């Protein structure tokens, strides 16, 4: 089970890197879909088929909401005769750091997640600074879940806070929420079915931010403090 979780965790982290670093927003959304589906599977024990299906459908619905905006914007750009464009909204070309740097950040965050899980499993504060042997022994199902969760959460922070387009911001928020849900599972165990249903609603709500306010970029004077504000 842990091996399967580890494979899924790697896929989630890779999906998060793609969703942040891809220039083409359609590719970025495929990355988000991988994160969404993978996150629904990162539970030990696995949820009931019905709940699992609801979480996956909810997560894909969130991606579909963003996809409609991206496709509509792409069509508008094509109708407007934007020649030589590489993809929808490529004025906002994803992470300025590039995918290798983002992958490195994800790896660092994942190791931090492993540390958190090892610390929790090993009994908390008394094992801070434990040797490699003890840490190896304490690898459990929570470890890959925490690793994927922290990678997703950390990668989502920059676009959520500084993303120039609403879609990039929404992608960041979706990653953060998936990361928080993963951390919640890694720390406190399998959630109840009702909690998973609410999580599905939360992910859709995050995507609705990008859906309801599409295509608007931060104005240049956005960081000012208006008098009277």
Partner 1 sequence: MIVLVIALVAVGAGLIVLLVRRSSPMAAQLIGLGATALVAVLAIGIDPADTTEVAGMAVAPSAMLRLVATVWSGSLLLLAILELAIGGRAVIAGPALVGLGAVVLGLGVPDPGTAFAAFAAGSVPAVLFPGVSAWVGRESEPERLTTLRRAAGAVIAATVVAIVVVAWGSSPVGPLGSGEPLTTEDPDRAIALGLALLAVAAAVIVRAGLIPAHLWAARFMEGVSSLAVPAALSWPTAAFALVALGWGQVAIGSPTATAWLEHGLIALAAVASIAFGGLAAILHEDIEHVLGYSIVQDAGIALLAFASLRPESTEAARNWLIASAAVKTALAGWVAATRWTFGAHRLPDLRGWARRSPALAVALVAITFAAVGLPGMAAFDARASLAFEAVPGGLGGLVLLASFSSILYYGRLLAVGFRNMGGLVANAPSPSPRWVGSRPTGWSSRSVVLVVQDVPALVDANRAPIVATITIALAAIGFVIAATGVGPA
User: Which residues contact partner 1 (rule: CB under 8 A)?
Assistant: 51, 119-121, 123-125, 153, 160-161, 166, 169, 173, 176-177, 179-181, 183-184, 187-189, 191-195, 197-199, 201-202, 204-206, 208-209, 212-213, 216-219, 221-222, 225-226, 228-229
Structure tokens at 216: 């608007």
Residue (99 or 193) nearer to partner 1, CB: 193
Contact partners, residue 101, CB within 8 Å, separation at least 6: 95
Sign, CA dihedral 196-178-37-138, equals: negative
- Give SS3 for 166: helix
> Which of 94/172 has CB closer to partner 1?
172
CB of 134 vs partner 1, minimal distance in Å: 15
Residue 81 gets the label, from left (phi > 0), alpha (psi -120 to 50) or beta, of left
Minimum distance, C-beta of residue 124 to partner 1, in the bound complex (Å): 3
Q: How far is the CB of 185 from partner 1 (least distance, A)?
A: 8
Judged by CB, which is closer to partner 1: 98, or 201? 201
Q: How many CB atoms lie within 10 A of CB 223?
A: 7
Select 99 or 222, whichever has its Cβ closest to partner 1: 222
Min separation Cβ 170 and partner 1, Å: 8
- Of 155, 10, 88, which Cα lies nearest the Cα of 163? 155
Residues 14 and 29: their CA atoms lie apart, in Å, by 13
Q: Which is nearest to 5 in space by CA: 202, 142, 194, 169? A: 142
Work out how close the CB of 195 gets to partner 1 at its nearest, in angstroms, rounded to a whole number. 4
Nearer to partner 1, 99 or 187 (CB): 187
């Amino acid at each position: 089970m842990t091996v399967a979780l580890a494979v899924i965790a790697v896929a989630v982290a890779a999906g998060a890197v793609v969703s942040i670093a891809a220039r083409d927003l359609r590719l970025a959304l495929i990355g988000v879909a991988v994160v969404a589906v993978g996150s629904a599977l990162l539970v030990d024990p696995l949820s009931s088929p019905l709940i699992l299906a609801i979480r996956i459908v909810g997560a894909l619905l969130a991606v579909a909401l963003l996809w409609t905006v991206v496709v509509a914007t792409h069509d508008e750009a094509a109708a407007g005769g934007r020649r030589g464009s590489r993809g929808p909204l490529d004025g906002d070309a994803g992470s300025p750091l590039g995918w290798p740097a983002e992958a490195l950040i994800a790896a660092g965050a994942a190791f931090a997640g492993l540390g958190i899980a090892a610390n929790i499993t090993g009994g908390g504060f008394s094992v801070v600074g434990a040797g490699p042997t003890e840490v190896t022994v304490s690898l459990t199902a929570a470890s890959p879940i925490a690793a994927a969760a922290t990678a997703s959460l950390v990668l989502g922070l920059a676009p959520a806070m500084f993303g120039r387009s609403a879609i990039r911001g929404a992608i960041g928020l979706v990653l953060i929420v998936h990361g928080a849900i993963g951390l919640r599972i890694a720390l406190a165990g399998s959630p109840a079915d009702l909690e998973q249903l609410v999580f599905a609603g939360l992910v859709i709500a995050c995507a609705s931010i990008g859906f309801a306010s599409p295509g608007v970029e931060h104005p240049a004077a956005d960081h000012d403090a208006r008098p009277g504000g």
